[in-house]
Amino acid sequence: MHERAVIGGRSAVYGRRGMVATSQPLATAAGLEILARGGTAADAAVAAAAALNVTEPTSTGIGGDMFALYYEASTRRVTALNGSGRSPAALSLDKLSREGMHELPPFHPYTITVPGAASGWEALLRRHGRLTLADVLAPAIRLAEEGFPVAPITAYFWARGAARQLAQGLNGHELTLNGRAPQAGEIFRNPGLARTFRTLAAKGAEAFYRGPIAEAIVAVVRQAGGCLSLDDLAAHTADWETPISTTYRGVRVWECPPNGQGLTALLALNILEGFDLPSLPPFSARRWHLQIEALRLAFADARWYIADPRHARIPVNELLSKAYAARRRKQIDPQAATVDVRRGAPFAASDTVYLAVVDAEGNACSFINSNYMGFGTGIVPPGWGFTLQNRGHNFSLRPGHPNALAPAKRPYHTIIPGMLTRADGSLWGPFGVMGGFMQPQGHVQVVSALVDDGVDPQAALDRPRFCIANGAADGWVGLEAGVPDDLLRALFERGHPLRLVGGWERALFGRGQIILRSPEGTLTGGSDPRADGCAMPLL
């Protein structure tokens, strides 16, 4: 039986002149508007990201970070952009110790790192765009000023955030309607965010890191008890980096390098390549067991080795070698779960938005932007319409750990865009699955569906998923409601600690977007049913 009949999902979307896939229809429309004006995939990606800041502030914002992978059709080259911010220069483990802090609460002002999104957007446009920042921000400004009807899934998570971060964070009420979240279909306006975007449109990203916006950020962080300074903001830069990659059954899978966790997905795919997954039914216990075990091994390494490479040596080449994967693969028992996985030695001696864009020329942008943990800290610089992220919560407070908190350091970052190319270097397509530590797990499951089973993007996204809780090598495994009963039973018998997850909590399993391009130029797109969005082609 065809998989579409089994899942009961929507069809994949086809087009030729360009395509945008996001978690909000209005953001998809913003990206298409920019493509129609002659913009590149980079221009459309930033336009869609800005529109998502307006329509899905429960997940993303200019007070957070971004990463991107860009495929340039003319050179067949993939580049990686790190738009993540660093910790305050005044924040250290010694400072926490002196204050008697042995852990950081998730919404504490010390978790606020420099917001990197604005600088990243501008850097992407400068290298790969054709339009101005003012051009690409225009749709988002319109949405923020005129208002938009809130989508259903977004409304649910907005209500959770309103009762949690926004109720406690300074000025969090600015992202509510008299203290409550907007309901599905209700119009929400954000004049403060429109003001922010108009300032950027007029003066560029520099206006975010110096001047009134920066001063408002520092003032509210200090009022909340944090230590972010104007110098921290002024010193921020987005960085172009060399992407990392591996091959999986002839397809090259690209990720951003550490401090992002894309390495985790590549480690797991390298391990899985040694098993004959295409011969196993997609919902067989043996396949899911092997994927879970490979990801446990990958997370065990990632939790140690992923850090800011300017503060720690990360043996990426050794970790991604096929020889290292072969050694790790031998640790998998095909019949039993291992929930006490240790990291290997490779040496020889909540809440993000992901979007994908491909333009008519075959350029592709894989783009991700996040506050972390929904609204981040819930702290709002008064009058500017965005919350400040809590990305610093991912630092380790263990002295000597590569990812240990230190001044002016980037933390382990969960948000990861992905890209696929063929053996000849041609574009296959951008892909991503958002959602904390689910992201590399989603990458592995989606790539396996596309490569091992040859399904289309929508079918790959529709499939039920598993999630190892919090990316912990010894974590319980969430199984999405809808998995066959015999699969659940067989995994339990292998020793996996399981929880069945359904309803609104399916957000645990992430929300993805995929656009694939054929050698002839036909685009095929899919958008995750766990979100409000869609993939749409340009007419």
Task: Cite the active site residues.
Answer: 352
Q: What are phi and psi of 78, to 5 degrees?
A: -105, 130
Token couple for 281: 């039914």
Looking at residue 245, its amino acid is S
CA–CA distance, 247 with 421 (Å, rounded to integer)? 9
β-strand partners of 18: 359
Could you tell me if 432 and 424 are in contact, meaning their C-beta atoms sit under 8 angstroms apart?
Answer: no
Helix 262-272 × helix 438-452 angle, to 10°: 40
The H-or-E segment that residue 428 falls in is strand 427-434
Residue at token pair 């990686």: 80
The single-letter code of the amino acid at 395 is F
The Cα 504–Cα 439 span in angstroms is: 18
Going from the C-alpha of 428 to that of each of 73, 76, 92, 252, 423, the distances in angstroms are: 11, 11, 43, 9, 10
Q: Is residue 101 classed exposed, middle or buried when 0-12, 13-18 and 19+ CB atoms within 10 A define those classes?
A: middle
The enclosing H or E element of 252 equals: strand 251-255
Residue 123 has which token pair? 């850097």
Assess contact for 48 and 27: CB atoms under 8 A: yes
C-alpha span between 329 and 396 (Å, rounded): 28
- Half-sphere exposure for 411 (CA within 13 Å, toward CB): 27
Q: Please report which helix (H) or strand (E) contains residue 364, including its range.
A: strand 364-370
Q: Which residue has the tokens 């067991």?
A: 289
The answer to whether the beta carbons of residues 140 and 45 sit under 8 Å apart is no
Please list the residues that pair with 365 across neighbouring strands.
70, 357
- Identify whether the C-beta of residue 40 lies closer than 8 Å to the C-beta of residue 48: no
Sequence-distant (≥ 6) Cβ neighbours of residue 347 within 8 angstroms: 315, 318
Number of Cβ within 10 Å of residue 390's Cβ equals: 31
Q: Which of 467, 453, 458, 462 is nearest to 429 (CA)?
A: 458
Query: Distance between CA 87 and CA 152 in Å, rounded?
Result: 35
Cα–Cα distance, 73 to 94 (Å, whole number) = 48
